[in-house]
């Protein structure tokens, strides 16, 4: 597997992958119309381009077929992000958010998530991040277990 930076030219690839992985992960807990609204509003050209420009965004790609290099996962790290519950003395600046971290269903459980997370944590060190936070659904135990493994709790 290889890790490739996203540029604005990749906005459609990111949008499609974000939609696919959101649907695979959370599709079952939304009504069809709420899911459709979410998928149609959160991954538009303008939002994707703005996020790629302002965040650190990388793809995880299969490299077994060099020509295809299909993206199968991605992360987005958002700078200067905190929510109202986070005190500055507890979460020092610069504070970053792990905005999205997703692998396709077919890619999970084979070590790709760990590879991508180690890379993301290195990037945070490089940019001098002092704090990191993320949101995870209370019933997404797989992701919670995964994050805890990397000391994120």
Ligand X SMILES: CC(C)(COP(=O)(O)OP(=O)(O)OC[C@H]1O[C@@H](n2cnc3c(N)ncnc32)[C@H](O)[C@@H]1OP(=O)(O)O)[C@@H](O)C(=O)NCCC(=O)NCCS
Q: Where on the chain is the footprint of ligand X (CB under 6 A)?
A: 21, 25, 101-103, 108-114, 136, 140, 142-143, 145-146, 149
CB of 149 to ligand X, least distance (A): 4
CB of 89 to ligand X, least distance (A): 26
The residues facing 2 across adjacent strands are: 61
CB of 80 to ligand X, least distance (A): 20
Please, which residue, 15 or 25, has the CB nearer to ligand X? 25
Given phi > 0 = left and psi -120 to 50 = alpha, else beta, which region is 109?
left
User: Which secondary-structure segment (H or E) carries 122?
Assistant: helix 112-126
Output phi, psi for 84, to 5 deg.
-70, -15
Residue nearest to ligand X (CB): 113
Per the listing, tokens 């420009």 go with 53
Please, which residue, 95 or 103, has the CB nearer to ligand X? 103
């Amino acid at each position: 597997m290889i890790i490739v930076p996203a540029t604005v030219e990749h906005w459609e690839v990111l949008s499609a992958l974000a939609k696919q992985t959101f649907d695979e992960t959370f599709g079952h807990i939304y009504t069809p119309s709420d899911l459709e609204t979410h998928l149609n509003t959160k991954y538009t050209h303008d939002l994707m381009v703005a996020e790629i420009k302002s965040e650190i965004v990388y793809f995880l790609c299969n490299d077994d077929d060099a020509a295809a290099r299909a993206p199968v996962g991605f992360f987005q790290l958002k700078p200067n992000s905190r929510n109202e519950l986070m005190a500055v003395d507890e979460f020092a600046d610069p504070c970053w958010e792990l905005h999205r971290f997703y692998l396709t269903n077919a890619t999970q459980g084979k070590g790709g998530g760990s590879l991508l997370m180690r890379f993301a944590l290195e990037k945070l060190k490089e940019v001098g991040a002092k704090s990191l936070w993320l949101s995870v659904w209370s019933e997404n135990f797989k992701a919670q277990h995964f994050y805890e493994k990397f000391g994120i709790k």
